[in-house]
């Protein structure tokens, strides 16, 4: 390890939350996001999650030369800041989707028949993955700028 570990503080999480929710909001209530989610298969979801992870890691550790993942406190070998960023990125989209009742609102438009709870859950998770692409940009930017 080189140098002291940078402390990950509550203020860092708060910054991520503000940025994540700020950019997640418009995409949660956009019909096109839910239409994309409806047409996604498992491999699209995996690719989308990979993109979110890649954007998050790149924004935190590649775009900011002053931040080194090897110097940060870790959870199971993963920097705490990155774990928090992923939780905020996906979590903010999911919380807003559920708060706005978006899954039920858009299910009638894009799903055939009345969806069972499992189908509705997968539909919601796919839309969450799409929204997280935008949320991670806001969360990582807020964390890096402030």
pLDDT in tens, 4-36: 555 778 899 999 999 999 999 999 999 999 999
The mean pLDDT value for 52-76 works out to 88
The mean pLDDT value for 40-68 works out to 93
Output the average pLDDT for the chain: 92
The answer to whether residue 128 is domain-embedded is yes
H-run or E-run covering 24: helix 10-28
The answer to whether residue 17 is domain-embedded is yes
Instruction: Say if residue 66's pLDDT is above 80.
Output: no
The answer to whether residue 62 is domain-embedded is yes
Which backbone phi and psi does 74 adopt, to 5 degrees? -120, 155
Q: What is the structure's pLDDT at 146?
A: 72
pLDDT bin (cut points 50, 70, 90) of residue 99 is very high
Residue 23 tokens, joined: 């950019």
The answer to whether residue 1 is domain-embedded is no
Tally of domains within the chain: 1
State the residue range of the domain holding 66: 10-145
Instruction: Say if residue 98's pLDDT is above 70.
Output: yes
The answer to whether residue 5 is domain-embedded is no
The answer to whether residue 108 is domain-embedded is yes
Task: Give the rounded percent of residues in the chain with a pLDDT score beyond 90.
Answer: 74
The answer to whether residue 4 is domain-embedded is no
Going by C-alpha positions, the residue among 62, 79, 64, 77 that lies closest to residue 6 is 79
Cβ atoms < 10 Å from Cβ of 39: 10
The answer to whether residue 28 is domain-embedded is yes
Q: What is the structure's pLDDT at 1?
A: 40
């Amino acid at each position: 390890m080189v140098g002291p570990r940078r402390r990950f503080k509550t203020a860092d999480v708060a910054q991520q939350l503000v940025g994540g929710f700020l950019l997640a909001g418009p995409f949660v209530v956009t019909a096109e996001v839910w239409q994309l989610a409806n047409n996604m298969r498992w491999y699209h979801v995996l690719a989308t999650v990979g993109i979110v992870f890649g954007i998050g890691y790149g924004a935190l550790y590649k775009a900011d030369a002053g931040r080194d993942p090897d110097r940060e406190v870790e959870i199971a070998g993963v920097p705490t800041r990155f774990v928090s960023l992923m939780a905020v990125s996906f979590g903010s989209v999911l919380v807003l989707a559920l708060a706005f009742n978006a899954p039920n609102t858009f299910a009638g438009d894009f799903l055939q028949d009345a969806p069972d709870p499992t189908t509705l859950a997968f539909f919601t998770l796919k839309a969450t993955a799409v929204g997280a692409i935008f949320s991670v940009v806001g969360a990582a930017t807020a964390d890096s700028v402030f």
